[in-house]
């Protein structure tokens, strides 16, 4: 009986909060695709702060990082987002790869251990997202099982997805490959590093929020 | 330093061998075989939630495997392209998949210490091995 009341109260309050324009936006993708760089760019644009540290060494983000209450304005509308930057998901982590970047064995092993935990944490957080931005490196082959697994799991959870083809400032950038790999999704090409084409990103982030809202309404009916 | 691969085992895993297992047992079985340095050729493909669980278990195994050399896996699935098929063929395939499972796909999983990368496009796979 008490559990039923608790469940009812939880549903009531979550319903009230859903009326607010507050969305949990997760950044997912393989390591070094630019998730933190994009999250930092958004934070800088709207709060003046940065969210996390970036590095050329893969798996720099090894814990979930948040930025609460990031208010974004687009064409006169305002929405508030909680930005959730996640560690890159991969199927292998070899400490010897980190040593190629100059880390000693002890630090490389420590980084590898933390990175494995980070991947598990990222996966566990999938259920908590209102919407997900899958950040892919536009200079690399998008046909990887990790990308397919991430998107497949988001689809199974009915979480709205936006694909970002990052690193459009680089010479071998190829958005067409990503569009061909995921033809059923909207792909926004941008350079998070230089803030190129962020306007189109915000437009699509708002569309995603709208999609999420209408999905929630349908579920309530 | 480059090392030579002394032998390479390709293990075929028929759909029926794993289809009735629980997701946990299925993943454990696959990872145990990979731990024996085998490259698995699986008939069919894993469900997205099974792939997610496989990645999670792989991460756990990297830290705990008795074999210090376990560094993870490489995997890729190929699903037949039905774009050019007619409506009837599409329907037949969907019904068959519902009844007997998605057997016409192919999944390759190998240990990351042997398989450097699996390059794929929609219709072909290329295994790059560590030498």
Domain interval for residue B73: 9-129
Whether ipTM tops 0.90, in short, is: no
Signed CA dihedral, A113, B24, B29, B120: sign only:
negative
- The first and second tokens of residue A98, run together, are 């980190």
In a domain, A2, yes or no: no
In a domain, A72, yes or no: yes
pLDDT, one tens digit per residue, over B17-53 is: 999 999 999 999 999 999 999 999 999 999 999 999 9
Give the β-pairing of B38-43 and B106-111: antiparallel
- Rounded to a whole number of angstroms, the distance from the CA of B61 to the nearest CA of chain A is 9
d(CA A34, CA B76): 23
**CATH code, domain with A51:** 3.40.50.300
Under an 8 A CB cutoff, do B56 and A141 touch?
A: no
Bridge partner residues of B129 (DSSP): B115
Residue A15 in this model has a pLDDT that exceeds 60: no
Q: How many Cβ pairs closer than 8 A exist between chain A and B?
A: 68
B contact set with A (CB within 8 A): 48-49, 51-52, 55-56, 58-60, 62-63, 71-77, 112, 118-122
* Portion of chain B with pLDDT greater than 90, in percent: 60
Domain interval for residue A172: 20-220
In a domain, A177, yes or no: yes
In a domain, B3, yes or no: no
Q: If you compute the radius of gyration of chain B from its CA atoms, what whole number of angstroms results? A: 16
In a domain, B64, yes or no: yes
Phi–psi pair at B83, nearest 5 degrees: -55, -40
Count of the separate structural domains present in chain B: 1
pLDDT, one tens digit per residue, over A110-134 is: 999 999 999 999 999 999 999 999 9
In a domain, B4, yes or no: no
- Rounded to a whole number of angstroms, the distance from the CA of B77 to the nearest CA of chain A is 7
d(CA A103, CA A91): 21
**A34 neighbors A94 (Cβ within 8 angstroms):** no
**A49 neighbors A75 (Cβ within 8 angstroms):** no
In a domain, A10, yes or no: no
């Amino acid at each position: 009986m008490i559990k039923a009341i608790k469940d009812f109260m939880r549903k009531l309050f979550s319903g009230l909060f859903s009326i607010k324009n507050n969305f949990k936006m997760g950044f997912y993708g393989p390591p070094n695709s630019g998730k933190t760089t994009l999250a930092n760019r958004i934070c800088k644009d709207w709060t003046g702060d940065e969210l996390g540290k970036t590095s050329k060494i893969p798996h720099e983000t090894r814990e979930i990082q948040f930025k609460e209450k990031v208010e974004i304005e687009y064409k006169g509308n305002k929405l508030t987002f909680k930005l959730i930057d996640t560690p890159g998901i991969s199927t292998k982590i070899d400490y010897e790869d980190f040593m190629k970047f100059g880390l000693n064995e002890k630090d490389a092993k420590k980084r590898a251990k933390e990175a494995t935990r980070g991947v598990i944490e990222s996966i566990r957080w999938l259920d908590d997202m209102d919407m997900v931005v899958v950040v892919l490196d536009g200079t690399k082959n998008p046909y990887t099982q990790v990308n397919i697994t991430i998107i497949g799991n988001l689809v199974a959870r009915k979480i709205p997805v936006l694909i970002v083809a990052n690193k459009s400032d680089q010479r071998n950038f190829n958005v067409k490959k990503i569009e061909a790999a995921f033809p059923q999704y909207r792909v926004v090409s941008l350079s998070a590093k230089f803030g190129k084409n962020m306007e189109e990103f915000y437009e699509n982030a708002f569309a995603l929020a709208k999609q999420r809202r209408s999905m929630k309404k349908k579920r309530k009916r | 330093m480059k090392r030579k691969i002394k032998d390479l085992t390709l293990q075929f895993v028929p759909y029926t061998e794993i289809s009735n297992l629980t997701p946990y047992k299925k993943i454990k079985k696959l990872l145990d075989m990979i731990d024996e340095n085998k490259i698995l050729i699986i008939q069919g493909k894993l469900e997205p939630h099974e792939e997610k669980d496989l990645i999670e278990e792989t991460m756990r195994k990297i830290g705990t495997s008795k074999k210090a050399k376990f560094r993870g896996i490489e995997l890729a699935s190929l699903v037949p392209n039905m774009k050019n098929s007619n409506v009837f063929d599409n329907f037949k395939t969907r019904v068959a998949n519902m009844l007997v499972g998605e057997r016409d796909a192919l999944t390759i999983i190998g240990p990351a210490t042997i398989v450097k990368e699996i390059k794929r496009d929609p219709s072909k796979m290329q295994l790059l091995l560590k030498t």
